[in-house]
Structure 1
Amino acid sequence: MMSLKRIYAAVFLIFLAAVIGSVALTSWYTVDQSEQAVIMTFGKVEEGISEPGLHFKMPWPIQEVEKMSKETFSLQFGYEEKDGKVVEFTNDTKMITGDENIVLADMVVMWKISDPGKYLFESEDPQAVLYNATSASLRSIIGSTEIDEALTSGKGQIELEVFELLTSLMEVYDIGISVTSVNLQEVELPNEEVRKAFTDVTDAREMEDTKNNEAERYQNQRMNEAEGEKAAIISKAEGEKTARIERARGDVAKFNSIYTEYANAPELTKKRLILETMEEVLPYAEIYIMNDDGNTMKYFPLRTENPAPKPPANTEGSGNNE
């Protein structure tokens, strides 16, 4: 029969083996490629482990390890997918635009755990904080955007501004969450009647834009034509200007030539000018020249090869009777 001392010794050895086994089992842990871990000493966060592999820590209950995923999570704002069905939260998505119209807007936010310690202990429900921050950011940006932009071409700008505002909010809250992207799913009007009215207004605005574009094209066409006519008139005027200048120069040269002749032979030049003037004024008259002796002689001017036709002589009874 075993003595009491041996029983105590056996119990002690069993306890010692259990302690050693517990220390061995709780001192080593592994971190997977898709995981990150945080070490807590008596419940206080000591350090974060992001490198995969085998790691050592103090045995439980001195130190504990909490593992979390490195993956990117998706937060659905305004709706939730369950069993292949979409459940909408209309009260969350109903918002007022900058021009005081009501729209429904939902969004998907992609996020990661950037600091496991803060994610565990800085907030009781970090995902709820992210959801509320998303709501505040989206409402703020929609509230400063007009309905036309929100429903049509302004979605990209809304996403950018929501991302910037939401990122800054999460930095202020400092709960170990980083936002990687936001995706504005839908911005729509609350009911069919409002949607139809908005569509009618949009169609009318598009028609107005079309008419304005056509009017602008017609205006540009007329302006181009007017510019062409203007250029033609200017070109013609420049031609006439040049011709007149050349004629004036010719007249000046002729005058200078006559003046030179006049200076050399005043009387002869004077007579020639008189004869030329009479020839221009009376092109069809017969001119006779009388000298100092009373004798006359007929003046035969030099004519062009094709002189202008002589006008018909007036006969008795001709003319218009009124």
Structure 2
Amino acid sequence: MENNYREFHGDNHQNESKKEKRNKISGSFRKIAMIAAAVLVIVILTLESLYSIGEQEQGVVTTFGKATAVTTSGLHVKIPFVQDVTKVNTTILGFPIGYRLDEQNADMEELAAESLMITSDFNFVNVDFYVEYKVSDPVKYLYHSKEPQEILKNIAQSSIRNIISNYAVDDVITTGKSEIQAAIREIMIEKLEEQDIGLMLVNISMQDAEPPTDTVIEAFKAVETAKQGKETAINNANKYRNQKIPEANASADQIIQKAEAEKQERINEATAQQVRFEKIYAEYEKNPVITKQRMFYEAMENVLPGVKLIIDDGSGNLNKTLYLDELQLEDITQRPESTQDAQAQEQEE
């Protein structure tokens, strides 16, 4: 019994020792995992916090999307997941006008349109330039415009054409290059300051200037003729519109005035007829028989124009004969005897 008891307790002791070892091992693993996770988080935060800016770069720091700082070359710290950094190249960059560095893949029509210009003596000339620029303000460069390089290119092309058009072809090709470059540079600097896109002009140089080929000249003339034809058509259309609109307005005003006049005329006529009817009705109330007779005679006169009507009372006495053209309402109303006879005759009938 004692041996069995010792064996039983020995086994229990061994089992408890194994459990303790396993718990210790699992606890050690948990600690190692937590330490590793903490180290990983620290590494990630460190990597997210540190950034470096090169010698020819500037960094724009944004906090929640808003630009808050500009950093120069070196190692810098930012707030992870709150701040971002956009690196901007501040080296001198450039682009050609009128030619391409890789002419095999260049659009020749576009090149011809860029380089072909008109001088002050109305000659054509092919002029090539190279523009050098750099970023002067990285914040304005990133956020004041969507395509600052394209804006710079348009400014360069317009300035070049503006200045070339003030010089004769001989000056452009031979002795006027330095003066032309200086004038173009001055205009471009002024326009860049107006646009305020964060770019500055470093230099612009004329690479080449030569007369164009006959084919290019003819094509250019065709394009210019088409443009002039378009402008002429637009001007003619505007002229026709400006001519017809006042005429239409005048016609409309005339129609309205005529309609108003006819309206007033009809109102006056209706008013006059009303007044006439009221007068006739007033006389009718005074002398209904005479008024009806008069209206009958007037109607007969309208039906039989040019016929002289004679009214006979049937007594055979010519002295009592009445002529319609001499018969007036006032005369009738002033003859009481005739009025009484007519009323008596009407009562007998």
Q: Does the CA-based 8 Å contact 1:103-1:187 persist in structure 2?
A: yes
Q: TM-score by structure 2 length?
A: 0.49
Structure 1 regions of 5+ residues with no counterpart? 196-322
Alignment of 1:167 with 2:189, yes or no, is yes
Q: Which residue of the partner structure matches residue 124 of structure 2?
A: 102
| Pairing 1:11-160 to 2, within 5 Å after superposition | 16-50=38-72, 52-59=73-80, 61-82=81-102, 89-160=111-182
Q: Which residue of 1 aligns with 2:322?
A: none
- CA deviations 1:125-149 (Å, max 9, x no partner) are 2111111111011011011112121
Q: Distance in 2 between matches of 1:153 and 1:160?
A: 13
Note the C-alpha offset of 1:192.
6.2
Instruction: State how far apart, in whole Å, the 1-side matches of 2:128 and 2:165 are.
Output: 14
Separation in 2 of the partners of 1:53 and 1:166? 33
Which secondary structure does the structure 1 equivalent of 2:159 belong to?
helix
Structure 1 Cα separation of the partners of residues 171 and 102 of structure 2: 31
Q: Give the deviation of 1:34 after TM superposition.
A: 2.1
Structure 2 unaligned segments of length 5 or more: list them: 1-22, 218-349
Amino acid at match of 2:41: V
Amino acid paired to 2:99: Y
* Structure with the largest fraction of strand: 1
What is the Cα deviation at residue 10 of structure 1? 8.2
The amino acid of 1:72's aligned partner reads I
Distance 1:85 1:183 in 2: 24
Cα displacement string for residues 228-248 of structure 1 (whole angstroms, at most 9, x for unaligned residues):
xxxxxxxxxxxxxxxxxxxxx
> How far 1:68 moved relative to its partner?
2.2
Compared CA separation, residues 83 and 6, structure 1 to 2 (3 A): farther
Residues 7 and 193 (structure 1), Cα distance of their counterparts in 2 relative to 1, 3 Å cut: closer
In 1, the alpha carbon distance for the partners of 2:64 and 2:123 equals 55
CA shift at 1:9, angstroms? 8.7
Instruction: Supply the distance in 1 between the matched residues of 2:84 and 2:215 (Cα, whole angstroms).
Output: 59
Classify the secondary structure of the residue corresponding to 1:117.
helix
Q: Distance in 2 between matches of 1:8 and 1:156?
A: 77
Tell me the SS of whatever aligns to 1:81.
coil
> Could you tell me how far apart the structure 1 residues matched to 2:140 and 2:215 are?
48
- CA shift for structure 1 position 183: 0.4
Deviation of 1:187 after TM superposition, in Å, equals 1.7
> CA-to-partner distance for each residue in 1:108-159, whole Å, 9 max, x for gaps?
0111111112112222121111111110110110111121211111111100
The range that moved more, 32-41 or 178-187, is 32-41
Distance 1:83 1:142 in 2: 24
The number of residues matched between the two structures is: 193
In 1: Cα distance, 2:215 partner to 2:116 partner: 16
- Whether contact under 8 Å (1:38, 1:66) holds in the other structure is yes
* Counterpart AA for 1:57: K
**TM-score, length-normalised on structure 1?**
0.53
Distance change in 2, residues 1:105/1:83 (3 Å): closer
Q: Which structure has the highest helix share of the two? A: 2
Following TM superposition, by how much is the alpha carbon of 1:25 offset from its aligned partner in structure 2, in angstroms? 0.6
Q: Is the 8 A contact 1:81 1:87 kept in 2?
A: no
Q: Identity, % of aligned pairs?
A: 31
- Secondary structure (helix, strand or coil) at the match of 1:58 reads coil
- Greater alpha carbon shift after TM alignment, 33-42 vs 10-19: 10-19
Quick check: 1:79–1:87 contact (8 Å CA) kept in 2?
no
Tell me, yes or no, if the aligned pair for 1:76 and 1:108 is still in contact at 8 Å. Answer: yes
1:195-214 per-residue CA deviation (whole Å, 9 max, x = no partner) reads 9xxxxxxxxxxxxxxxxxxx
Change (3 A) 1:136 1:8: farther
